[in-house]
Amino acid sequence: MAPKNHDKVNPLWGGRFAASADNLMQIINASIDVDKQMAAEDIAGSIAHVTMLGSVGILSKAEAEKIQTGLEQILQEIESGTFEFTAEKEDIHMHVEARLGELIGPLAGKLHTARSRNDQVATDFRLWLRSALEQQVRGIKDLQRQLLIRAEEHADTIMPGLTHLQTAQPVTFGHHLLAFVEMLDRDAGRFKDACARLNECPLGSAALAGTAFAIDREQTAKSLGFKRPMANSMDAVSSRDFALEALSAASICAVHLSRLADEMVYWTSTAVGFASFSDRFSTGSSIMPQKRNPDAAELVRAKTGRVAGAFQSLLIVLKGLPLAYSKDMQEDKEPVFDAMHTLALCVQVMTALVGDIQMHRDKMQAAAGGGFATATDLADWLVREAGKTFREAHHISGSIVRLGEEKTCDLDQLSLQDMQGYEPKITARVFDVLSPQNSVKSRTSYGGTAPAQVELQIQNWKKRL
Ligand code: ARG
């Protein structure tokens, strides 16, 4: 005889319990607020499972079909917003099964034959992440295309190239943007790698040991678009390295976005003035009427913290966990969902910002000529034309820079006599290399900043994207 009040214990696992859970137990145990995001994946997994149960004869075809119809109705209810979620039913798996019971009666109890929530949740999570990663790759492609459009427009726009944030050598803005196209391509590659590795199916591993029912794991794996069933049931229910890998790739991508975002903040700063955002992507100050703040870029820069934090969070959840499943693993989804949503938003915002930003060529060009940015060109010239070793040439060029500093003028404003005071072999031809235009034009080595090289790279990327 069931003890009194037994109707209050959990209907799905409460058989051996005499009393219902404490309210606090329920609060800490419930994951529905998070895992309802994978409702569609959960139902897809259940349909694959029940179809397989029907085709191997564990359930009759009619039973399997009836369960499937019920599941499809639940998906509709969830999508239309009429489905009721409550913390009492813990997670998405129990919500679906409970609702199935309301819709089709005791037959619903057969759905869970030969599976466990452990293989179920691992399957759902992989399905969710697979499409999230595919979405990231599409988003990154859009961003790359936008960068390419702007790179083409600015293939010969000259600006100061920096190291240590100090003027180093003139570069083209197109070249600068293409650097991000390259980084983003590796990001997309990492997402694709993660996607390929996670594409194996845990379903049918049951709680941890597999099942005594004669199930067909190949069938469920194939019908969910997985390459194959996972080969070890304990690994299948307890590994989350697929999520770690996705988060690590996401963290790296977020770091790349933050670097571009930071450059935007720098370029649009009042002191630098290389660029501005339109009103659509600028914000004002509540006190200083003149302000035009680059909030969107700053927020992209900041959200890196959330994405990288998610990676740390999951690493620490998993550290030291024994095989196989522990409830700790329920904490895996929130950081992953948040990181993927955050990154997708940041990629989209960056695409818009790259399209929006207006570059001020005159200012960039003027700055490119300042700061003795062609001092390396002078040294190179001394090697080529005056037979100096690079070390000697570096020293002479450095002395001429010091003279420029004293006279507060740039290298190309010094007189030939001034320069000959340091090296008599210098001729008037030196002026050919002292302008930022000529400096940039001369950097024709493969991958260099010369407009001709930049054009070449743009054409390559156009074919690839
Ligand atoms: N909500 C759980 C999770 O996200 C599902 C798996 C529950 N398994 C268990 N043995 N209690 O991990």
Per-residue pLDDT of the chain (465 residues; tens, 9 = 90+): 555 556 677 777 888 888 888 899 999 999 999 999 999 999 999 999 999 999 999 999 999 999 999 999 999 999 999 999 999 999 999 999 999 999 999 999 999 999 999 999 999 999 999 999 999 999 999 999 999 999 999 999 999 999 999 999 999 999 999 999 999 999 999 999 999 999 999 999 999 999 999 999 999 999 999 999 999 999 999 999 999 999 999 999 999 999 999 999 999 999 999 999 999 998 888 888 888 899 999 999 999 999 999 999 999 999 999 999 999 999 999 999 999 999 999 999 999 999 999 999 999 999 998 889 889 989 999 999 999 999 999 999 999 999 999 999 989 899 999 999 999 999 999 998 899 999 999 999 999 999 999 999 999 999 999
Distance 126 CA to ligand 1 centre (A): 15
Is 17 a domain residue?
no
Distance 161 CA to ligand 1 centre (A): 53
The residue contributing the CA closest to ligand 1 atom 3 is: 330
Is 414 a domain residue?
yes
Distance 72 CA to ligand 1 centre (A): 23
Distance 68 CA to ligand 1 centre (A): 23
For ligand 1, say whether the CB of 97 is within 6 Å of any of its atoms. no
Is 35 a domain residue?
yes
Is 422 a domain residue?
yes
Of 304, 337, 366, the residue that ends a domain is 366
The residue contributing the CA closest to ligand 1 atom 4 is: 330
Q: Do 109 and 163 reside in the same domain of the chain?
A: no
Residue 413's domain comprises: 370-464
Q: Looking at residue 7, what is its pLDDT?
A: 64
For ligand 1, say whether the CB of 121 is within 6 Å of any of its atoms. yes
For ligand 1, say whether the CB of 95 is within 6 Å of any of its atoms. no
Is 94 a domain residue?
yes
Is 358 a domain residue?
yes
For ligand 1, say whether the CB of 233 is within 6 Å of any of its atoms. no
Name residue 95's amino acid: H
Distance 210 CA to ligand 1 centre (A): 17
Q: Looking at residue 232, what is its pLDDT?
A: 98
For ligand 1, say whether the CB of 205 is within 6 Å of any of its atoms. no
For ligand 1, say whether the CB of 156 is within 6 Å of any of its atoms. no
3-state SS string for the chain: CCCCCHHHCCCCCHHHCCCCCCHHHHHHHCCHHHHHHHHHHHHHHHHHHHHHHHHCCCCCHHHHHHHHHHHHHHHHHHHHCCCCCCHHHCCHHHHHHHHHHHHHHHHHHHCCCCCCHHHHHHHHHHHHHHHHHHHHHHHHHHHHHHHHHHHHHCCCCEEEEEECCEEEEEEEHHHHHHHHHHHHHHHHHHHHHHHHHHCEECCCCCCCCCCCCCCCHHHHHHHCCCCEECCCHHHHHHCCHHHHHHHHHHHHHHHHHHHHHHHHHHHCCCCCCCEECCHHHCECCCCCCCCCECHHHHHHHHHHHHHHHHHHHHHHHHCCCCCCCCHHHHHHHHHHHHHHHHHHHHHHHHHHHHHHCEECHHHHHHHHHCCCCCHHHHHHHHHHHHCCCHHHHHHHHHHHHHHHHHHCCCHHHCCHHHHHCCCCCCCHHHHHHHCHHHHHHHCCCCCCCCHHHHHHHHHHHHHHC
Q: Do 245 and 123 reside in the same domain of the chain?
A: yes
Q: How far apart are CA 306 and CA 314, in angstroms?
A: 12
What torsion, rounded to 10 degrees, do the Cα atoms 48, 53, 56, 58 define?
A: 180
For CA atoms 265, 256, 35, 65, the dihedral sign is positive
Number of compact structural domains in the chain:
3
Q: Looking at residue 373, what is its pLDDT?
A: 87
Is 5 a domain residue?
no
Q: Do 99 and 154 reside in the same domain of the chain?
A: no
Q: Do 347 and 360 reside in the same domain of the chain?
A: yes
Q: Do 182 and 283 reside in the same domain of the chain?
A: yes
Q: Do 381 and 340 reside in the same domain of the chain?
A: no
Q: Do 354 and 378 reside in the same domain of the chain?
A: no
Q: Do 312 and 456 reside in the same domain of the chain?
A: no
Q: State pTM to two decimals.
A: 0.93
CATH number of the domain that residue 249 is part of:
1.20.200.10
Name residue 191's amino acid: F
Is 15 a domain residue?
no
CATH number of the domain that residue 55 is part of:
1.10.275.10
Q: Looking at residue 13, what is its pLDDT?
A: 81
Q: Looking at residue 216, what is its pLDDT?
A: 98
Distance 216 CA to ligand 1 centre (A): 23
For ligand 1, say whether the CB of 35 is within 6 Å of any of its atoms. yes
Of 334, 366, 398, the residue that ends a domain is 366
Q: Do 308 and 177 reside in the same domain of the chain?
A: yes
Closest atom of ligand 1 relative to the 329 alpha carbon: 12
Q: Do 81 and 132 reside in the same domain of the chain?
A: no
Pocket test for ligand 1, best of 327, 332, 337 (most atoms within 8 A of CB): 327
For ligand 1, say whether the CB of 325 is within 6 Å of any of its atoms. yes
Q: Looking at residue 318, what is its pLDDT?
A: 98
Closest atom of ligand 1 relative to the 31 alpha carbon: 1
Q: Do 232 and 336 reside in the same domain of the chain?
A: yes
CATH number of the domain that residue 392 is part of:
1.10.40.30
Of 308, 341, 366, the residue that ends a domain is 366
Closest atom of ligand 1 relative to the 125 alpha carbon: 4
